[in-house]
Amino acid sequence: MRVKICGITNIEDARLCQSYGADALGFIFHRKSPRYIPISRAAAISAELSVFISKIGVFVNESPEFINEAVKKAGLTAVQLHGDEPPDIIGRIDRPVIKTFRIKSASDFSKLQLFEKSAILLDSYSDQVYGGSGSAFNWDLIPAPLRSRIILAGGISSENIEKIYMEIKPAGVDLSSSLEMSPGRKDPQKVKAFFLTLQRLTKLS
């Protein structure tokens, strides 16, 4: 199970997450987010990281031109679309795409078939923010055939990663606010605790 740590705003947190084995780090380019950073800062952080860790830019309802420019400047390896983007935008982006779906009810899964050319991330629905709410949705709604293919987000922490790892078994998980001391600042102890818990689960399986 892969791990993406999102909402990275500084090199110290990036190096911390990298040192514990994060597979990917996320930079948020949505200006209304408390974890927003400019492309130039993401580029500076990305340049200091290992070539083996994925650098993912998170965008909300931006144009393909803006996204592709950010890809070049920040050295992104993938793009995460977290807004209400149409399916045809996928083919106009120069990197692999992760499309986020904010889940409120079982009917929301009908939209996934429109995005067959992208990876799928499932997050909690909120009418106030596009992500980073820290709340989990009802994971029982996730269709069984879909579970091993998704990236799961929303309220994931050291406290529930065992349930996720043992029962849902997603391809990956995406964490942000549960590992913070304040928006945009990771808590070293929470990061350590999460990865130690995950390492224990891996050894048991």
* Residue that is written with structure tokens 């791990």 in the block: 3
- Rounded distance, CA 204 to CA 166, Å? 10
Catalytically annotated residue among 6, 13, 17, 174: 6
Catalytically annotated residue among 13, 17, 123, 174: 123
- Rounded distance, CA 184 to CA 76, Å? 19
162 bridge partner residues:
none
Does the active-site annotation cover 17? no
Instruction: List, as own/partner pairs, every contact residues 91-99 make where C-beta atoms lie below 8 angstroms and the sequence separation is at least 24, other chains included.
Output: 91/117, 92/64, 93/64, 93/67, 93/68, 94/68, 95/71, 98/56, 98/151
- Rounded distance, CA 102 to CA 86, Å? 15
Does the active-site annotation cover 187? no
DSSP letter at 147?
Answer: G
Residues serving a catalytic function are 6, 123
